[in-house]
Amino acid sequence: MIRVASIGECMIELSQASGALLSRSYGGDTLNTAVYLARLGVCIDYVTALGDDPWSEEMVRAWEAEGVGTGRVVRVPGRLPGLYVISTDAAGQRSFHYWRDNAPARLLFDLPETPAIARALAEYDAVYLSGVSLSLYGEAGRARLFAALDDARAHNARIVFDTNFRPRGWPDRAVARAAFRAALARADIVLASTEDLTLLFEGDGLAELPIGKARAEVVVKLAEPAVRIHHDAVAQTIIAEPVEAVVDTTAAGDSFAAAYLAARLCGASPADAARAGHRLAGAVVRHRGAIIPRAAMPKFADIPYLRGQPS
């Protein structure tokens, strides 16, 4: 069975309910992708650090209920998970306000358990991380992460990097650019967006991508609802089907990444994998929140071995 590790952070989420009330949930880019990978039948472990508090315990139980493996979750006594408050405008676009400087996830590559976590990454068929994942760790932590990725790659794991750049997570763009370049140099599959690339590199961000590099597979999310895939010296554009009544764009990119990666790992072509990504993302944006009801998961009967979901 194909096994995937997803590295990152999950936080407590507070969103506007009725009146002055807030609704509590949880979320994080790589966690969202992990949940959708599990729903699509992929054996996925989430790699992070949490506290020993009731909210951390609640998160772990919820992930396990979704089929996400929690054996790589390190618990740090006395620390609390990060927290963010969200607001959504009339077009479904969200804004975020964070409290996460002391979150345990930031310590993942600076703990006594770090060497064991690093060694474990070599046991997976693929390791998934994002630009947000990179922003969690300091220079020393990122160096340990990159060394672990090198070791995993040497053991034939595929490194999957989603650019997902969030400026507030970085002290300055120079540090972010160096970290992104280091991740891109190691990535076998890159899930990028023109928005991220422009925001981070300001000039020709596409030139930073490993397009044409041996083993590299690059998927660029365009400004319009489409992706441009560069793989085996072939470039092709896959357009998404129109989506009516967008409710919430949260996790559109995360769910695309999950369906694309699940499809590719089960042997689908890049084009079919992109169509699967568009299909899942199109379902996700029709619902509020990052994780949609199981009954709303689309079918994937046209992609061999990719599990369809019950209606």
Question: What's the domain range around 29?
Answer: 3-296
292 contact partners, CB below 8 Å, separation of at least 6:
283, 284, 286
Query: Sheet holding 22-27: strands in order across?
Result: 22-27, 11-16, 83-88, 94-99
Q: What pLDDT score was predicted for residue 269?
A: 95
301: in domain: no
262: in domain: yes
Sort 265 into a burial class: Cβ within 10 Å, 0-12 / 13-18 / 19+: buried
CATH number, domain containing residue 265:
3.40.1190.20
165: in domain: yes
311: in domain: no
**In angstroms, rounded to a whole number, what is the distance separating the alpha carbons of residues 256 and 274?**
8
Domain count, the chain: 1
Q: What pLDDT score was predicted for residue 307?
A: 59
**In angstroms, rounded to a whole number, what is the distance separating the alpha carbons of residues 119 and 156?**
14
Q: Quick one: how many helices (H) and strands (E) in the chain?
A: 9, 13
Query: Sheet holding 158-162: strands in order across?
Result: 73-75, 43-50, 3-7, 126-130, 158-162, 189-193, 217-221, 226-231, 234-239
* Cβ 142 vs Cβ 182: under 8 Å: yes
309: in domain: no
310: in domain: no
Backbone angles phi, psi at 200, to 5 degrees: -85, -50
CA 245, chain centre distance (Å):
25
List residues bridging with 158 in a β-sheet.
126
Q: What pLDDT score was predicted for residue 302?
A: 78
B/e letters for 50-59, b = 16+ CB within 10 Å, e = fewer, are bbebebbeeb
Active site residue 125: no
* Number of C-beta neighbours around residue 298 at 10 A: 17
Torsion of CA 7, 31, 257, 311, to 10 degrees: 150
Q: What is the pLDDT along the chain (311 residues), one digit of tens a residue?
A: 899 999 999 999 888 777 788 888 898 999 999 999 999 999 999 999 999 999 999 999 999 999 999 999 999 999 999 998 877 676 656 677 889 989 999 999 999 999 999 999 999 999 999 999 999 999 999 999 999 999 999 999 999 999 999 999 999 999 999 999 999 999 999 999 999 999 999 888 999 999 988 889 999 999 889 999 999 989 999 999 998 888 888 899 999 999 999 999 999 999 999 999 999 999 999 998 889 999 999 988 777 767 554 43
Q: What pLDDT score was predicted for residue 19?
A: 78
From the candidates 45, 162, 254, 272, give the one annotated as an active-site residue: 254
Q: What pLDDT score was predicted for residue 48?
A: 98
Q: What pLDDT score was predicted for residue 311?
A: 32
252: in domain: yes
229: in domain: yes
